Homo-oligomer: A and B are copies of this chain.
């Protein structure tokens, strides 16, 4: 019998960086006994991203952060939109360069993630934020 369900995850961030919430998603799937279907996650913000990345070596996250900080420089004189701080326009650009929604099959009660894949909110602002992620499941 097909069914669908909705949820909102809240991820607290403490400045720029990657915040994993794979476990929260996995727990929601288990608590609802979803067996097979499609999970969709949508981040409701324009200055942070959703990212699937390696969750083994923390150096990977540090290098990602440093690469993006160099590619999209805070305070770049190119930017006109500066009223919300010199890290705001870079945050919008980093969001455009990545994505705000993900779709992952659920099979045999488990997310079809690879061995090293984790689900992250990537905070692009320097200040702490509470980031809301809308979740949707459809399946059996």
Contacts and interface: CB of A to CB of B under 8 A. Distances in A.
A93 B68 CA distance: 9
Interface residues of A, number: 61
B72 A92 contact: no
A44 B54 CA distance: 11
Contacts of A52: 46, 100-101
Contact of A114 (B44, B67, B135): B44
A53 B57 contact: no
A51 B138 contact: no
Interface of A: 2, 4, 6, 36-38, 40, 42-46, 51-54, 57, 59-60, 62-64, 66-67, 70-72, 76, 78-81, 83, 89, 92-93, 95-105, 107, 112-117, 132, 134-136, 138-140
Given A43-B114, A64-B96, A67-B72, 12 more contacts: A4-B37, A42-B112, A45-B114, A46-B52, A51-B96, A62-B80, A67-B76, A97-B98, A99-B99, A101-B104, A105-B136, A112-B134
